[in-house]
């Protein structure tokens, strides 16, 4: 049984992480940290967590913590990961991994040099819907993928995570916050790498970061893919892969709360239809990390994958500024 400490026990931990851990078979949460001592104690009492700390260093030093989950704002990830590595604690860090690729590379190098397991919480790779897409593409049922698209929009103006509008704390707006989910999912589903990209963003008077954004990706095997994200629309996600022999598609493919209908079509005919639910994604994610810690087997989403996504994200923001094609 792997004992986790959660650094940055805020809304994400309450809404997603703790319900995921509650159903996990090989791990549990034994410690948490929040900067406010009273709120840390209140959270620990509410969720039955043994230890409440006010710093990452205290949590990592605890002998009752085997692994660390970093759920702090983006700008804190580097220091928090390095602290966990310094204490030789396996560490799983939330996406986006860092503020930029330089920070992400520091994390990867530090973990590698210390022989410490480092993973990135790209939870959508553990969703049933996403794995269905990946399996179908790999099986060749749609032929050669020629086009793909992913979209993620949500009304983030009303989000309790107010720090996502602070450039000192957040890597970006929706391009970083939910966009990284989109292009990581495209990479995973296609089993391919982004060679180049072009991106645009829209800014409004409500935020210092972008309100909406879009990107066009050229993949190594020739697939053209688009990503569309916004913080100014009702919640919806979309995933689609168009091959020369068929189309895979699903509305709200990336959500974890409602059933998803997956379809394989050829022309106007639906040749396969399946309903799945992603409710176990967060549980499967922490179970996979705990299994890697216990067994010593490689993690499916190591720090190197997070670094690759950070290179893509950096290129997206460069393209927004330059108006040109950029290479990750």
Give pLDDT tens digits for 112-165: 999 999 999 999 999 999 999 999 999 999 999 999 999 999 999 888 788 999
Share of the chain above pLDDT 90, in %: 97
Global pTM?
0.95
Burial class (CB in 10 A: 0-12, 13-18, 19+), 123: buried
Q: Please report how many Cα atoms fall inside a 13 Å half-sphere around the Cα of residue 58, on the Cβ side.
A: 13
Q: To which H or E segment does residue 225 belong?
A: strand 224-230
Q: Domains of the chain by range and CATH?
A: 2-121+282-299 (3.40.50.720), 125-278 (3.30.360.10)
Report d(CA 299, CA 296) in Å as an integer: 9
- Choose among 206, 227, 214, 232: nearest CA to 154: 232
In the prediction, which pLDDT does 267 show?
A: 92
pLDDT digits (tens, 9 = 90+) for 8-61: 999 999 999 999 999 999 999 999 999 999 999 999 999 999 999 999 999 999
On whether the CB atoms of residues 271 and 246 are closer than 8 A, the answer is yes
Contacts of 57 (CB under 8 A, 6+ apart): 83, 87
Yes or no: say if 154 and 178 are a contact pair by the CB < 8 Å rule.
Answer: yes
Instruction: Express each pLDDT in 186-224 by its tens digit.
Output: 999 999 999 999 999 999 999 999 999 999 999 999 999
Residues 123 and 131 sit within 8 Å (Cβ to Cβ): no
């Amino acid at each position: 049984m792997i004992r986790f400490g959660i650094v940055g026990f805020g809304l994400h931990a309450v809404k997603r992480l703790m319900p995921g851990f509650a159903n996990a078979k090989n791990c549990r949460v034994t410690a948490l940290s929040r900067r406010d001592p009273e709120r840390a104690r209140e959270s620990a009492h509410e969720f039955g967590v043994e230890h409440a700390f006010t710093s990452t260093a205290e949590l990592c030093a605890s002998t009752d913590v085997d692994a660390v989950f970093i759920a702090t704002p983006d700008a804190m990830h580097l220091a928090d990961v390095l602290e966990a590595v310094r204490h030789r604690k396996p560490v799983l860090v939330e996406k986006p991994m860092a503020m930029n690729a330089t920070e992400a590379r520091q994390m990867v190098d530090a973990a590698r040099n210390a022989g410490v397991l480092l993973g990135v919480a790209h939870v959508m790779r553990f969703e049933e819907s996403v794995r269905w897409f990946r399996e179908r593409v790999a099986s060749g049922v749609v032929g050669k993928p020629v086009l793909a698209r992913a979209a993620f929009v949500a009304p983030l103006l009303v989000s309790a995570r107010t720090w996502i509008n602070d450039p000192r704390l957040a890597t970006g707006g929706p391009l970083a916050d939910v966009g990284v989910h989109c292009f990581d999912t495209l990479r995973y589903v296609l089993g391919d790498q982004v060679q180049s990209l072009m991106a645009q963003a829209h800014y409004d008077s409500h935020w210092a970061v972008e309100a909406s954004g879009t990107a066009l990706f050229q993949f190594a095997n020739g697939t053209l893919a688009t990503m569309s994200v916004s913080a100014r629309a009702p919640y919806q996600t979309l995933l689609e892969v168009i091959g020369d022999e068929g189309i895979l598609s699903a509305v709200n493919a990336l959500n974890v709360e409602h059933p998803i209908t997956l379809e394989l079509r050829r022309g106007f005919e639906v040749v396969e239809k399946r309903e799945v639910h992603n409710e176990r994604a967060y549980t499967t994610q922490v179970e996979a990390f705990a299994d890697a810690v216990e067994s010593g087997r490689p993690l499916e989403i190591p720090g190197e994958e997070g670094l690759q996504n950070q290179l893509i994200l950096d290129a997206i923001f460069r393209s927004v500024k330059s108006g040109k094609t950029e290479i990750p």
